[in-house]
Amino acid sequence: MHDVLLPLFQKFQGDVKFEAVIVVPYGAQSIPVEFLNYEELLERSGGEFQYPVIDENDGAAMCFTSGTTGFSQGVVYSHRSLVLHSMAEAMVDAFALSHHDTILPLAPMFHANAWGVPYTAVMTGTKMVLLGPVLEADFILDTIIREGITVANAVPTVWINVLEALEKNPRRWKFEKPIRVVSGGTAPPVELMRRLDRHGIRILHLWGMTETSPLATTGHLKSRMRGWSEEKQYEIRAKQGWPVPLIDIRVMRPDGEVSWDGLTPGEIEIRGPWVAREYYKAPDQAHKWSEDGWFRTGDVGTIDADGIMKVVDRAKDLVKSGGEWISSVDLENALMGHPAVKEACVVGIPHPKWQERPLAAVVLRDGSKATACELREFLSHDFAKWQLPDAIVFVEAIPRTSVGKFKKTELRERYANWEWEA
């Protein structure tokens, strides 16, 4: 623990004035002397602790961005913003949490406060089960059964492993009622949703960022969509959905806001009472906010006539090929619809003629086989020839960030000198 905590402390103490650093030991026998042990502090209090008088606009928590596009930036959440975020998150068209639920937050607490779940659970009286650092699929499923979990949250990569365990042992885990799963961080593949539905695990897609506390949109179906075909419903559920109450979203291009046609992409901008207005001690990042106060997310997306938002890609992850944009997210989700593919990650690799071309790193399911030609043929039904990956590599695992997202920067570095065929 000392090897992990001390470098983190030294990294930030130059920018942040710490009165003390309190560590929750998570079962460790001891912690470094530089830190205070949370459990020991509770024992010493003797029940005489008095909460200080604070203003609702004072800082209550701070999380740091993942830093995938540069240095990590601190985002301070006020008491007021956390309360409002929790109220929105508890609503029926968001997480729908109540004292009837038991939630399993699998998103780490350093990832935007576990997506705000600990605050919302306490506010609504929801029982919360903390699993710790063990995220093996079997352990997750055993916990769901043992604790009567009704809601869980995690990035799609966690649910990919859960699905694999369910399909290997179809009779081992049976749920009395469907499990509501909140998934974010990146778009869950439609095929993942479809196959988990068969096992009684229903994914609700959300979108947000550290800067949005993080809840911003959810992909619930509207009542009028209940009679739509199954395929049409999955198409809607795979999108990022509608803004939750009090959140406003627009899609912008240099010449202004784009029309709601579901086709014209631009940068997604957002505002609301729990959306950051600045980064902590980072005046050089003020350009991330527009002159009229909207946060520029760096995500590229569209909005259709129904007001449904779809994230096309992170601006940095779009493959820029011959003056055209290729969505890495769309290619990844399509590849993961192939029965032999477990995971797929697409990145743009420098090309001498086209600036960039897509390269796909693919992890196959245990016991499955597929060739690059077969996968390109599979994709050709939904993509133009110029959009197809020019290179498909088969790997044992795709590198991930600390919060479970695909680490595309590492793949770009690994294949930066790819030798393209003439």
pLDDT of residue 420: 87
**HEC readout, 333-347:** HHHCCCCCEEEEEEE
In this structure, the number of other CB atoms found within 10 A of the CB of residue 209 comes to 23
Total-model pTM:
0.81
What's the mean pLDDT in 357-383?
Answer: 96
* Low-confidence winner among 1-5, 239-243, 307-311, 388-392 (lowest mean pLDDT): 1-5
The average pLDDT across 321-332 equals 91
Residues of the chain with CATH 3.30.300.30: 319-414
| pLDDT (0 to 100) of residue 158 | 92
Whole-number pLDDT of residue 237 = 93
- The percentage of residues in the chain with a pLDDT greater than 70, rounded to a whole number, is 93
Looking at residue 70, what is its pLDDT? 57
Rounded to the nearest 5 degrees, what angle is found at the Cα of 185, between the Cα atoms of 279 and 335?
140
User: Using CA atoms, how far apart are residues 289 and 307, in angstroms rounded to an integer?
Assistant: 23
Is the Cβ–Cβ distance between 270 and 292 less than 8 Å?
A: no
3-state secondary structure the chain: CHHHHHHHHHHHCCCCCCCCCEECCCCCCCCCCCCEEHHHHHHHHCCCCCCCCCCCCCEEEEEECCCCCCCCCEEEEEHHHHHHHHHHHCCCCCCCCCCCCEEEECCCCCCHHHHCHHHHHHHHCCEECCCCCCCCHHHHHHHHHHHCCCEEEECHHHHHHHHHHHHHCCCCCCCCCCEEEEECCCCCCHHHHHHHHHCCEEEEEEEECHHHCCEEEECCCCHHHCCCCHHHHHHHHCCCEEECCCCEEEEEECCEECCCCCCCCEEEEEECCCCCCCCCCCHHHHHHECCCCCEEEEEEEEECCCCCEEEEEECCCCEEECCEEECHHHHHHHHCCCCCEEEEEEEEEEECCCEEEEEEEEEECCCCCCCHHHHHHHHCCCCCHHHCCCEEEECCCCCECCCCCECHHHHHHHCCCCCCCC
Q: Rounded to 5 degrees, what are φ and ψ at 284? A: -70, -10
Q: List residues with catalytic annotation.
A: 65, 211, 320, 325
pLDDT for residue 422: 62
State pLDDT tens for residues 186-198.
Answer: 888 999 999 999 9
For the ranges 17-21, 34-38, 304-308, the lowest mean pLDDT is seen at 17-21
Closest CA relative to residue 191, chosen from 343, 310, 327: 343
pLDDT at 19 over 90: no
Does pLDDT of 144 surpass 80?
Answer: yes
Residue type, 254: P
Burial label for 235, CB within 10 Å (0-12, 13-18, 19+), is middle
Q: Is the dihedral of CA 412, 67, 332, 330 positive or negative?
A: negative
| Pairwise CA distance, residues 131 & 104, whole Å | 7
* Statement: residue 16 has pLDDT above 60: no
One CATH from 3.30.1490.20, 3.40.50.12780, 2.30.110.10, 3.30.200.20 for 66-316:
3.40.50.12780
Whether 7 shows a pLDDT value over 80: the answer reads no
Q: CATH number of the domain at 319-414, out of 3.30.300.30, 3.40.630.10, 2.40.160.40, 3.40.50.150?
A: 3.30.300.30
- Separation between Cα atoms, residue 237 and residue 257, nearest integer Å: 25
Residues carrying CATH 3.40.50.12780, the chain: 66-316
Across the range 38-62, mean pLDDT stands at 85
pLDDT for 236 equals 93
Region 243-256 average pLDDT: 96
pLDDT at 220 over 80: yes
